[in-house]
Amino acid sequence: MAIISFRSDEIHCKIVYYGPGRGGKTTNLISIHKALGHQARGELLSIDTAGDRTLFFDFLPMDLGSIGKFKIKISLYTVPGQVRYNDTRKLVLKGVDGIVFVADSLEARRNNNIESLQNLNDNLTEQGKGLNSVPLVFQYNKRDLDGSKVAIMPIEEMERTLNTQGRHPSFPGSALKGDGVRETFKKICMMTVVDVSARLLKEKGISLTGK
């Protein structure tokens, strides 16, 4: 849950990139990090292992402007893709304000996507949340492989499989090439800030206009 610091007049939000292993979560953050100016971005931290590209998380603090007198700051995290690191996933997901689910478009990864999304829902349920109670954006990654020798799932099929009710925004993308990365990022930031503003600030009785 977002944290308000009255001492520094800041609202700290947390966005987590979730999805199956090697689906493009870390590549998304690297692409975003490169696109941001030095004044807006913090240090990108990554821990690589032989079994998974991201063992713990990538951390990227950013300044998104302000709501009234409160400056908005967002931290981006990824989770490890392998199931054996589920305790770490839960730790990273704790207090999440917005989620990007990075799905792998490869046909061979269909079940990995489904299992990862179910795992996300299970871990959110432990926190008293669910897929429909947290801002969520789907990114269908590796679309640049369409037309290659590997089988790629159609967007419509991925929507039916993952975004079953069609209630969450979704974007095709190629994290490697940067396609769809910015659009996904901007959408989840906007959704998260709107949700936090309505939920947290109103609970505290703070005017969004700063008056």
pLDDT at 24: 92
Range 171-197 burial, b when 16+ CB lie within 10 A, else e? bbbbbbebbbbeebbebbbebbbebbb
Count Cα atoms within 13 angstroms, Cβ side, for 205: 0
Domain ranges within the chain, ordered by starting residue: 3-200
The Cα–Cα gap between 21 and 89 comes to 12
Give the Å distances, CA to CA, from 105 to 46, 155, 181. Answer: 24, 8, 15
pLDDT, residue 148, reads 84
Q: Which fold has domain 3-200?
A: Rossmann fold (3.40.50)
What does 143-200 look like in DSSP terms, one character per residue?
GGGTTSSS-B--HHHHHHHTSTTS-S-EEE-BTTTTBTHHHHHHHHHHHHHHHHIIII
Question: pTM of the full predicted structure?
Answer: 0.89
Per-residue model confidence (pLDDT) at position 162:
98
In angstroms, rounded to a whole number, what is the distance separating the alpha carbons of residues 69 and 43? 26
Structure confidence by residue, pLDDT tens digits, 49-60: 555 555 344 456
Low-confidence ranges of the chain (pLDDT < 70): 39-40, 47-65, 200-211
Query: Which residue bears the tokens 């490890």?
Result: 80
Residue 110 to residue 119: CA distance in whole angstroms:
14
Q: What pLDDT does residue 47 have?
A: 66
